[in-house]
């Protein structure tokens, strides 16, 4: 006789195992926990590099550098 198992519980357990065994996911989570502000700043910089022109991106980097030096 088979017992009924809730599909939501099975999906939740599988998701937990998948996340814990995924190397790239675990490294990303580790980086975020280590330095959250820097991680999101790097992520924003990468997206802006793709979307902005070279001149605008360079001015953005200069502004970031100046703000970082001032602090």
pLDDT at 70 over 80: no
Q: What is the pLDDT of residue 1?
A: 60
Q: The whole model's pTM is what?
A: 0.57
Q: Sort 60 into a burial class: Cβ within 10 Å, 0-12 / 13-18 / 19+.
A: middle
Cα distance between residue 33 and residue 39, in whole Å: 9
Domain coordinates in residue numbering, the chain = 1-34, 36-71
Per the prediction, the chain carries an average pLDDT of 89
Percent of residues, the chain, with pLDDT higher than 90: 54
* Residues 36-55 pLDDT 10s: 999 999 999 999 999 999 99
């Amino acid at each position: 006789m088979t017992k009924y198992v809730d599909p939501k519980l099975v999906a939740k357990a599988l998701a937990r195992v998948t996340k814990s065994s995924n190397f790239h996911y675990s490294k990303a989570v580790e980086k975020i926990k280590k330095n959250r502000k820097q991680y999101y700043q790097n992520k924003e910089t990468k997206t802006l590099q793709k979307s902005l022109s070279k001149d605008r991106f360079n001015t953005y980097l200069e502004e970031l550098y100046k703000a970082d030096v001032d602090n």
